[in-house]
């Protein structure tokens, strides 16, 4: 059975997640279409940040008994290029922005 105190903690955490998500969306300039990805990224980051209530450990560290790695964190909303050049894909080098995909 949930108590009002537990509900208050959950509401504060939910508000924190949404506030950080709004900040990410504003700073990145991405359309609202990417809101769900921003929320997912925020939760990913929050789970890896140290917390005072956990004696300086992160939730990730408590669950996995190993400190989290920050090496593969990227800036949310940064420009990136996907490259999966296989025989079924060709890249038009005359125009960098066009990727022609041959579907067989």
**Residue 100, beta-bridge partner list:** 90
State which residues form the domain around 52: 4-74
Residue 10 lies in a domain: yes
How many domains, the chain?
A: 1
Residue 85 lies in a domain: no
Residue 8 lies in a domain: yes
Tell how far CA 16 is from the center of its chain. 15
pTM higher than the cut 0.95: no
pLDDT digits (tens, 9 = 90+) for 21-52: 999 999 988 899 999 999 999 999 999 999 89
Give the pLDDT confidence score for residue 103 in this predicted structure: 42
Q: Is the pLDDT of residue 10 over 70?
A: yes
- The secondary element (H helix, E strand) that includes residue 87 is none
């Amino acid at each position: 059975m949930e108590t009002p105190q537990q509900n208050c903690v959950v509401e504060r955490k939910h508000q924190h997640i949404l506030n950080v998500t709004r900040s990410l969306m504003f700073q990145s300039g991405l359309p609202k279409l990417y809101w769900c990805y921003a929320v997912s990224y925020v939760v990913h980051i929050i789970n890896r940040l140290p917390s005072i209530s956990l004696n300086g450990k992160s939730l990730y560290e408590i669950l996995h008994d190993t400190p989290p790695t920050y090496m593969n964190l990227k800036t949310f909303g940064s420009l990136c290029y996907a490259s999966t050049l296989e025989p079924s894909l060709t890249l038009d080098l005359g125009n960098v922005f066009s990727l022609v995909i041959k579907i067989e």
